[in-house]
Amino acid sequence: MAQDKVTAEYGSLVFGDTDMRERLPKPTYKELSRVIRENKRIELDIANEVAHAMKEWALEHGATHFTHWFQPLNGITSEKHDSFLTPQDDGTILMAFSGKELVQGEPDASSFPNGGLRATFEARGYTVWDPMSPAFIKDEVLCIPTAFISYNGEALDKKTPLLRSEVALEKQAKRVLALFNGGEAPKRVVTNVGPEQEYFLIREEDFEARPDLRLCGRTLFGAEPAKGQELDEHYFGAIRPSVNAFMKELDDELWKLGIPAKTKHNEVAPCQHELAPVYEQGSLAIDNNLLTMEKLKLLATNYGLACLEHEKPFEYVNGSGKHDNWSLSADGENLLEPGKHPEDNIRFLVFLSFLIAAVDEHADLLRMSVASAGNDHRLGGNEAPPAVISVFLGDALSPVVKALIRKEHAETHEGPTMDLGVPALPDIRQDNTDRNRTSPFAFTGNKFEFRMPGSQQNLSDPNVIINTAVAEQCDRFCEYVAQYSDEDFMQVAERFVRHTLRDHQRIIFDGDGYSDDWKKEAEDRGLPNLMTTPETLAALLDRNNIEMFQKYEVLNEAECHARYVAKAEQYAKLINIEANTMVRMARHLYLPAIIAYSGDIATAVATKAELGVDATAEKELVKQLTQGSNAIYELTTELDKKNASARNVADPAKRDEEYRDQVLPAMAALRAAVDGMELICSKQCWPVPSYDDILFYV
């Protein structure tokens, strides 16, 4: 059968199921499939055979090295390349790769953030093969997705707790489903995750000319551009040729890696774009998202572009998010599919109520999971969901839920058919959920969409919370049913749903999440409104939360604490770097430029005075520039001092507060002074490209 290029090349750089089937002895293939399917431990003899086949495949595809690919707590991916090369006694070499090398690595990983779990003298860490995520080739290196743990088995990465949370959720969900199915549980229950990735693409020369973009990923200065996103002309607009060429190569590369990139378009802000793949099993989707982020950055440079993945690269226009579309399925069947009559679909309502209760009970953890110095600039800014967490159900489900709580039966109807008044246009059916973009956690037809994560985020963090909190609800349901074992199961289940929805009604909100009224109402409902990262981190030290993580074996107390410390440190470190960058830019770039410019004009004033010519404008300008440069000088000194003093605070929580309450305002004041000068200085003297240049290039 003739194959098109895309079909032929799709997944060619991934050691996938077909390759395994073709290359492994039948019993080995069967055993490996079972390990993957049933999430079982792998034996060394099987690993040896898999390693051999994987190496042969990799060599045929031009690989010379292998690496364990992992996700330390700093959120990026890490790798250390080892060649397959093994010298022999006779002076020749062999390209070798053993089962042990496949299964376990031992990076000297003392300089990854670990939140105090390891001191440098006991720096040993292990990477452990995750057979559920296929190995792939990147730049002639065979990459093996792994989890990263300490000598004592504590999680040092983002992936380990994610995998553990998937195991916990699967186990608990199977118990629930067995109750619905006469005691028989499905073979597999997995999460489905579809991450929508937003990013900016700007010209590489502008990126290079701005130390703030290079060092911090976002602009720390920049006057408001003459034009912003108010004309709504960028969203879904025609894509620039250079960007289009980039997107094409990106698709090709992602497809070869077996990443199902599907949708691409321009986003709301100028220079902003989005890429969405088709959803996949949770941990695989997250691996693939990380790989996508790496490719975005690397490939952009082929087109003279720089890709910005920061949550808020520019003030005055939207920042970038990463919507986390989440659902749960059992042997391929989506448990969040309401069907035509959700009111009669008890199993769906049970799972819906799990989600609602999980979000309400652990809203603090969910909020924490998306907190970062960068995302703080985005949440609550009328461009992204507010910092208050609520659940949106929409027109189809809200009446069902309300009726259930009132012990009534709601009739649902299919969305009405809309006659568009033009005979040539076919009638369309209204979706059963509209799109409330202001809701942080929205039911969108057959999945939930968590919209708070920032574009830079590793989605493991929020998914660990969702998975574990839903596992807890599954468990609660089973206990409830056991308590009423003499009653009819369906009636017990319905009562469970009613009570759960009634007890967690406060989290359901379908209105405008951006409005001030909602902030007030949320407060009346007792919903937390945690505006900044330092306020959110205590959720990791909360007894209830730690007990949940321990009970479902996702994180132990030491791991929770380590994550708390690592996150707190990350916040302070990022702001410290930003403050340092601002001080240097002010002293090395802005002050010299403004002083030189005002000096030139002062000389002109003197010359004009000699000639007896009026110099009102020049004098006025020199005055303003001098005031400006004096202010910048003082504010820079002030920021430098405040940063130094925040840096010296020993306690991580207090240090973060100092950064938020002292350093961030000092940064804002310095920025305002510099941006004010940008508006009155000549274009020639200004030392960096402005927002107008960067965002509206031709």
For Mg ion, the binding residues (CB under 5 A) are: 323
Which of residues 366 and 548 has its CB atom nearest to ligand ADP in the complex?
A: 366
The site partner of 77 among ligand ADP, Mg ion, none (C-beta below 5 to 8 Å per kind) is none
The site partner of 310 among Mg ion, ligand ADP, none (C-beta below 5 to 8 Å per kind) is none
Q: Which residue is nearest to Mg ion (CB)?
A: 323
Only one of the segments 19-27, 56-64, 188-196, 619-627 lies at the binding site for ligand ADP (rule: CB under 6 A); that segment is: 188-196
Q: What type of residue sits at position 451?
A: R
Identified binder of ligand ADP from the candidate list 10, 69, 70, 279, rule CB under 6 A: 279
Contact 521, 388 (CB under 8 A): no
CA end-to-end distance (rounded Å), the chain: 45
Range 19-25, long-range pairs (CB < 8 A, 24+ positions): 19/53, 19/57, 20/50, 20/53, 23/53, 23/56, 23/57, 24/49, 24/50, 24/53, 25/49
Q: Please write down the HEC assignment for all residues of 57-101.
A: HHHHCCCCEEEEEECECCCCCECCCEECEEECCCCCEEECCCHHH
> Which letter does DSSP use for residue 309 in this model?
-
In angstroms, what is the minimal distance from the CB of 356 to Mg ion?
A: 20
In angstroms, what is the minimal distance from the CB of 388 to Mg ion?
A: 20
In angstroms, what is the minimal distance from the CB of 313 to Mg ion?
A: 21
Identified binder of ligand ADP from the candidate list 177, 254, 276, 465, rule CB under 6 A: 276
Q: Which two tokens stand for residue 340?
A: 């035509």
In angstroms, what is the minimal distance from the CB of 9 to ligand ADP?
A: 21
In angstroms, what is the minimal distance from the CB of 405 to ligand ADP?
A: 26
The site partner of 69 among Mg ion, ligand ADP, none (C-beta below 5 to 8 Å per kind) is none
Q: Which two tokens stand for residue 629?
A: 């440069």
Q: Which residue is nearest to ligand ADP (CB)?
A: 194
Measured CA to CA in angstroms, residue 73 lies from 17, 202, 373, 442, 574 at distances of 30, 28, 15, 28, 14
Which of residues 20 and 276 has its CB atom nearest to Mg ion in the complex?
A: 276
3-state SS, residue 388: strand
| CB-CB neighbours of 121 under 10 Å | 7
Tell whether residue 194 is a contact of ligand ADP (CB under 6 A): yes
Phi, psi of 91 (to 5 degrees): 90, -10
Only one of the segments 122-130, 325-333, 347-355, 401-409 lies at the binding site for ligand ADP (rule: CB under 6 A); that segment is: 325-333
The site partner of 432 among Mg ion, ligand ADP, none (C-beta below 5 to 8 Å per kind) is none
571 CB contacts (<8 Å, ≥6 apart)? 372, 373, 533, 534, 656, 659
Which of residues 437 and 619 has its CB atom nearest to ligand ADP in the complex?
A: 437
The whole-angstrom separation of Cα 252 and Cα 261 is 9
Tell whether residue 278 is a contact of ligand ADP (CB under 6 A): yes
Which of residues 342 and 453 has its CB atom nearest to Mg ion in the complex?
A: 453
219 CB contacts (<8 Å, ≥6 apart)? 210, 212, 213, 313, 314, 315, 691
Contact 673, 632 (CB under 8 A): yes
| CB-CB neighbours of 486 under 10 Å | 6
Which of residues 279 and 303 has its CB atom nearest to ligand ADP in the complex?
A: 279
500 CB contacts (<8 Å, ≥6 apart)? 353, 354, 356, 357, 473
Which of residues 272 and 325 has its CB atom nearest to ligand ADP in the complex?
A: 325
Only one of the segments 94-102, 324-332, 369-377, 573-581 lies at the binding site for ligand ADP (rule: CB under 6 A); that segment is: 324-332
Residue count, binding to ligand ADP (CB under 6 A)? 14
Q: What type of residue sits at position 206?
A: D
Which of residues 323 and 347 has its CB atom nearest to Mg ion in the complex?
A: 323
The whole-angstrom separation of Cα 285 and Cα 193 is 6
Only one of the segments 323-331, 397-405, 476-484, 574-582 lies at the binding site for ligand ADP (rule: CB under 6 A); that segment is: 323-331
Tell whether residue 430 is a contact of ligand ADP (CB under 6 A): no
Identified binder of ligand ADP from the candidate list 67, 192, 353, 570, rule CB under 6 A: 192
The site partner of 279 among Mg ion, ligand ADP, none (C-beta below 5 to 8 Å per kind) is ligand ADP
Burial bucket for residue 667 (CB in 10 Å: 0-12, 13-18, 19+): buried
In angstroms, what is the minimal distance from the CB of 525 to ligand ADP?
A: 27
301 CB contacts (<8 Å, ≥6 apart)? 204
The site partner of 194 among ligand ADP, Mg ion, none (C-beta below 5 to 8 Å per kind) is ligand ADP
Contact 641, 650 (CB under 8 A): no
Contact 194, 289 (CB under 8 A): no
Tell whether residue 319 is a contact of ligand ADP (CB under 6 A): no
Which of residues 458 and 536 has its CB atom nearest to ligand ADP in the complex?
A: 458
Tell whether residue 447 is a contact of ligand ADP (CB under 6 A): yes
In angstroms, what is the minimal distance from the CB of 266 to ligand ADP?
A: 13
Which of residues 334 and 505 has its CB atom nearest to ligand ADP in the complex?
A: 334
Identified binder of ligand ADP from the candidate list 146, 165, 325, 460, rule CB under 6 A: 325
3-state SS, residue 663: helix
Identified binder of ligand ADP from the candidate list 28, 133, 353, 446, rule CB under 6 A: 446
Which of residues 323 and 377 has its CB atom nearest to Mg ion in the complex?
A: 323
Which of residues 263 and 645 has its CB atom nearest to ligand ADP in the complex?
A: 263
Only one of the segments 51-59, 168-176, 189-197, 547-555 lies at the binding site for ligand ADP (rule: CB under 6 A); that segment is: 189-197
| CB-CB neighbours of 660 under 10 Å | 21
CA of residue 272 relative to chain centroid, distance: 16
Which of residues 324 and 472 has its CB atom nearest to ligand ADP in the complex?
A: 324
The site partner of 446 among Mg ion, ligand ADP, none (C-beta below 5 to 8 Å per kind) is ligand ADP
In angstroms, what is the minimal distance from the CB of 325 to ligand ADP?
A: 3
Tell whether residue 277 is a contact of ligand ADP (CB under 6 A): yes
Tell whether residue 334 is a contact of ligand ADP (CB under 6 A): yes
Q: Which of 296, 300, 16 is nearest to 137 (CA)?
A: 16
Tell whether residue 196 is a contact of ligand ADP (CB under 6 A): yes
Contact 690, 678 (CB under 8 A): yes
The site partner of 192 among Mg ion, ligand ADP, none (C-beta below 5 to 8 Å per kind) is ligand ADP
3-state SS, residue 576: helix
Contact 69, 143 (CB under 8 A): yes
Largest pairwise CA distance in the chain:
106
Which of residues 164 and 323 has its CB atom nearest to Mg ion in the complex?
A: 323
Span 35-74, contacts to ligand ADP by CB under 6 A: none
The site partner of 276 among Mg ion, ligand ADP, none (C-beta below 5 to 8 Å per kind) is ligand ADP
Only one of the segments 136-144, 228-236, 320-328, 339-347 lies at the binding site for ligand ADP (rule: CB under 6 A); that segment is: 320-328
In angstroms, what is the minimal distance from the CB of 337 to Mg ion?
A: 18
Tell whether residue 629 is a contact of ligand ADP (CB under 6 A): no
Contact 29, 49 (CB under 8 A): no
- Chain contacts with ligand ADP (rule: CB under 6 A): 192, 194, 196, 263, 276-279, 325-327, 334, 446-447
